[in-house]
Structure 1
Amino acid sequence: MHMESFSEGYRALVIGASGGIGAALVDALRTDPRCASVTELGRSTSPPLDLADPVSIEQAAAELAGQGPFHLIINAVGVLHSDAFMPEKRLADLSHQQLLETFQVNTFGPALLLRYFSGLLDRQRGVLAMLSAKVGSICDNRLGGWYSYRASKAALNMLIKTASIEIKRSQPNAVLLALHPGTVNSNLSQPFRGAEIGRPAADAAHDLLRVIDRLGPEASGGFYAYNGEALPW
């Protein structure tokens, strides 16, 4: 893997590095001879970061400020299901608790990442990418269902778009991206035939990094698939 758009010795930060795609992103970045360091963040790292814990997000950003600036920051954390719930198939399945837990990880936590980590981006070439999902596209919703997940990702996309407008004023070279990784063989997709229809996390990671490498400040605030296709809102 060679990220040509970043300067020699660029620094990367992966949030959610213990997950399937997160771990694959770390591995791919560490094979790039141009990458000087890859910092991993998650609930078990030092400093710890838990998207359900706002204090940990602020503290992690403060602790890592001295290691920056970072040229690439990727958030690979997301939740579709848990031991307590599965995606809703109909309105009758909606649960206040499920909505809260899904939005906490997919939307509220990432919103605070935007707040606290965008200032750690390198001024010459800094990319902050968040894993979103094509099912978060309102225009592309043809099947219905999956209320919490769809809505939380649609809200994430709006946060990224809105933040990109503000950040461009003070950091014109910053690039904020919402990225759809496609169906990947991971814990997230496992209950939905992920092992059969999903591709390896390593392939997804390389695809996502290739997309990031091609996009400049003019793409900031955009929503893109792993193949580079711009997705509808």
Structure 2
Amino acid sequence: MSTADPASWRGLALVVGTGGIGTAMASTLRRRCPDLTLLTAGRSGPPLQDLRLDLEDDDSLDVLASQLAGTELPLRLVFNCSGRLHGPDLAPEKRLRQVERRQLSEQFGINAIAPVLLAKAVEPLLRRDQPFHFASLSARVGSITDNRSGGWYGYRAAKAAQNQLLRCLSIEWSRRWPRATVSLFHPGTTDTDLSRPFHGFVPPEQLFPPQRSADHLVDLLLQQTPEQSGQFLAWDGQVIPW
């Protein structure tokens, strides 16, 4: 069976971050890849998610690794859907005078550092003879080449940093775990809490419901192979310049 055949995806899958896209991804994977044993992980933990995970806490990542090892199933997929653009004390910067150290640290903590430390936590579970895929949500605004409007200093820079960190990861894993694939995906502008304050700038036809984004991402995910590891791709399969 080909990689693109959902029936060929067997083993343990983990979706991290169960906001709008994460919840839809978990639902779509359960429907389209029925042989995957799928777990969800997030800050709330049970009963909203199968596992509790705080991506900004090293101890929580260690606990996650132990929990996954205890399942005895080969780890087939980790899909990181976490991300942060705004919050009670966090907002995208429009001008240089709005840039603050605290906000930069917060943006980098979840959008750049967390994904690579998640990969580090699950690496001991990889097997050289088993296919494995690590995917993480990035954003087109993280492209340095594609940046034509400026602003959003922290978020843009953090996503660009994630891209570099996971590109490094893909190169290392290609040598150590030749059947592993690392992918960075831009899901399109999706109707979630993360993007909702900015919907006024998005044409209605370019705003995707979470389920549509999830369907696109699973289509894309199933097509990826180790030879394509380390790519930065839009929801429609187009390569995004770094």
Q: Which residue of 1 aligns with 2:87?
A: 82
Asked if the contact 1:121/1:127 (under 8 Å) is kept, the reply is no
Residue 8 of structure 2 aligns with an amino acid whose one-letter code is: S
**Root-mean-square deviation (CA), in Å?**
1.9
CA distance in 2, matches of 1:8, 1:203: 21
SS at match of 1:138: coil
**CA distance in 1 between partners of 2:219 and 2:32 (Å):** 12
Name 2:216's counterpart in structure 1: 207
Hey, what's the Cα distance between the residues in 2 that align with 1:3 and 1:10? 16
* 2:17 paired residue number: 16
Work out whether residues 12 and 35 of structure 1, in 8 Å CA contact, stay in contact via their aligned partners in 2: no
Q: Establish whether residue 62 from structure 1 lines up as the match of residue 76 from structure 2.
A: no
Contact 2:13 2:77 in 1 (8 A): yes
Q: Which residue of 1 aligns with 2:36?
A: 36
Structure 2 unmatched ranges of 5 or more: none
TM-score when normalising by structure 1: 0.93
- CA distance in 1 between counterparts of 2:20 and 2:140 reads 18
Please list the CA deviations of residues 16-41 of structure 1 after superposition, one character each: whole Å capped at 9, or x if unmatched.
12x00000001101112533311011
Displacement of 1:108 after TM fit?
Answer: 1.4
Q: Tell me the alpha carbon deviations over residues 130-169 of structure 1, each in whole angstroms, 9 at most, x when there is no partner.
A: 0000100011000000000000000000011001111111
Distance 1:43 1:94, change over 3 A: same
- Structure 1 range deviating more: 177-186 or 39-48: 39-48
User: What residue in structure 2 maps to residue 51 of structure 1?
Assistant: 55
Amino acid at match of 1:205: A
Task: State the alpha-carbon separation in 1 of the partners of residues 145 and 13 from structure 2.
Answer: 33
Hey, what does 1:229 align to over in structure 2? 238
- Note if 1:219 corresponds to 2:224: no
Instruction: Please say if 1:188 is aligned against 2:197.
Output: no
Structure 1 gaps, min length 5: none
1:145 aligns with 2:178: no
Contact 1:208 1:226 in 2 (8 A): yes
Pair 1:175-2:181 in alignment: yes
Range that drifts further, 63-72 or 149-158:
63-72
Counterpart position of 1:73: 78
- Does the CA contact (< 8 Å) of 2:142 and 2:157 recur in 1? yes
Residue identity opposite 2:38 in structure 1: V
Q: AA paired with 2:57? A: D
Counterpart for residue 155 of structure 1? 161
Q: Is the 8 A contact 1:3 1:32 kept in 2?
A: no
What amino acid is aligned across from residue 182 of structure 2 in structure 1?
L
Opposite residue 43 of structure 1, the aligned amino acid is R
Letter in 2 for 1:35: D
Q: Partner amino acid for 1:98? A: Q
Residues 110 and 173 of structure 1, relative CA distance in 2, 3 Å threshold:
same
Count, aligned residues: 231
AA matched with 1:101: E
